[in-house]
Amino acid sequence: MLIVCAACYVSAHATRANDQQVDARLGLTVIDLKAKTEYHLFNPTPRELMRELSTDRPDKTESPYTVDAGHFQIESDLASFSYDAFNGDPTDTTTESWSFANTNFKVGLLNNVDLQVVVSTFNHVRTEDRTFDIAEESSGFGDVVTRLKINLWGNDGGQTALALMPFVKFPTSQQDLGNDAVEGGLIVPLAIALPAEWQMGLMTQFDFNRDGSGSGYHTEFINTVTLSHDIVGDLAGYVEFFSAVSTEDESDWVGTVDLGLTYGLTADIQLDAGVNVGVTRAADDVNPFVGATWRF
């Protein structure tokens, strides 16, 4: 519920602030901002009215900003590795996983709405029980997730921005890489501009996931907070805390501390790299990754 209290506080000021402010980085006037509502998938936003590139990666906190109408954006994990040892099992078990080109394909439908299809292109998971010297490996395509991002305010200016992101996961995975269940939920991301050019992101997420037994569903609550700042030139960095709590019986709290860098090659291309470090037993121990974003 982290974001709920923050959103209630800022929402009373958001409408007036966004009406009065312009996006100084783009030089947009109030007239320009109102004109942007006329653009859609088949009538793309002109280049001079487009927002600065905003991504849902590399941190786990989603962005409330949408892709401009009629434009496309590809955000990809070029390579990601995770390692986890001993998740509470009585045996000495380790899990290593690799993923390549897991990608979020985005398209701007309206000025404040975009559609996303997240494709888990290739995954390889190896689990080893060192006590009994048994190893299992699985490789292949993963699940597909569709998401709709609806910006409620702050897309084109203002000190805050808020969005709603309903999503559905479809069981398309191969070789037991998923749980063969349709799942879904709602993501609520909030962005806040802080003094000294710091940026804060807050996110609350409600997941409805299949039980491990396959007999029903349970709710999972995810909350994140991230702080980011420019370092030098087009290089920026962030630090983040992630928390996931499940209502399923005998489930454990998952917590990670995440660090990363982003570098803007051009106005439409961004590179990133980072590492997520588990701070609870149920979390993966370490997860380094590199990725890229391209808008067109």
Yes or no: say if 201 and 225 are a contact pair by the CB < 8 Å rule.
yes
Q: What is the DSSP string of 8-23?
A: HHHHHHHHHHHHH---
Close Cβ partners of 53 (under 8 Å, ≥ 6 residues apart): 264, 267, 268, 270, 293, 295
In the chain, % of residues over pLDDT 90: 78
What integer best gives the mean pLDDT of the chain?
Answer: 90
pLDDT at 29: 60
Residue 170: which pLDDT band, with cuts at 50, 70 and 90?
very high
Q: Tell me which of 84-88, 182-186, 268-272 is least confident.
A: 84-88
What is the C-alpha radius of gyration for the chain, rounded to an integer number of angstroms? Answer: 20
pLDDT at 11: 43
DSSP annotation of 211 reads: -
Over the range 108-138, which residues count as b (16 or more CB within 10 Å of their CB) and which as e? bbbbbbbbbebbbeebbbeebeeeeeeeeee
Q: How many CA atoms lie within 13 A of 145 on its CB side?
A: 18
Domains identified in the chain and CATH numbers: 2-295 (2.40.160.40)
Residue 17: which pLDDT band, with cuts at 50, 70 and 90?
very low
Residue 92: which pLDDT band, with cuts at 50, 70 and 90?
confident
pLDDT at 90: 60
Q: CA-CA distance, 184 to 128, in Å (whole number)?
A: 30
